[in-house]
Amino acid sequence: MALKRYKANRKGGFRLIILLFLLVGSGVVASDPATFLGRPLLLLPLLGPIALLLWMYANTHYELEQTTLRYQSGFVRGQLEVWRINQVQVGVTQWTGVKPALAGGGLLITYNRYDEIYLAPADNEALLADLLAINPAILVKR
């Protein structure tokens, strides 16, 4: 199987979080612009989180090559052998744990014995079908 890339689902509250950070940062700067013009390094604590969120938003994706599923979302990246996957829950949302995802309603993948990772591709069914083509023993819960 050649490299196949899956875009992340970008619907949901992640864009709202970015907008909120932009508005709060703009409000802080607008409240006392002379301070920030005189000392531009004071902008770093405001721009750092915004840059991190934009990096995650632009960089989140998933790749499937041969038998390896790779994921990346900002500084969170890794890979997983598809034959290690035991179960996939479809349409769930996980708020804790390893979550290289931008939206809810994704795939909760259980691998090894107790390890989990949450992914939210734009098309859950396409990624799931490709995983099942490699490892038909995966238990799918809907």
What average pLDDT does this structure show over 99-115?
A: 94
Hunting for tokens 């907008």 — which residue is that? 19
CATH number assigned to the domain comprising residue 25:
2.30.29
- Is residue 121 over pLDDT 90? yes
Are the CB atoms for 21 and 53 separated by under 8 Å?
yes
Its pTM stands at 0.88
**98 band by pLDDT with thresholds 50, 70 and 90:** confident
The one-letter code for the residue type at 42 is: L
- Is residue 125 over pLDDT 90? yes
Angle, in degrees to the nearest 10, between helices 14-31 and 44-59: 160
3-state secondary structure at position 132:
helix
- Is residue 1 over pLDDT 80? no
Q: Which domain holds residue 90?
A: 1-142
pLDDT of residue 107: 97
Quick: pLDDT tens for 37-91: 899 898 899 899 999 999 999 999 999 999 999 999 999 999 999 999 999 999 9
What average pLDDT does this structure show over 115-135?
A: 97
Helices (H) and strands (E) in the chain, counts: 4, 8
Quick: pLDDT tens for 24-37: 999 999 999 999 88
- Domains: count for the chain: 1
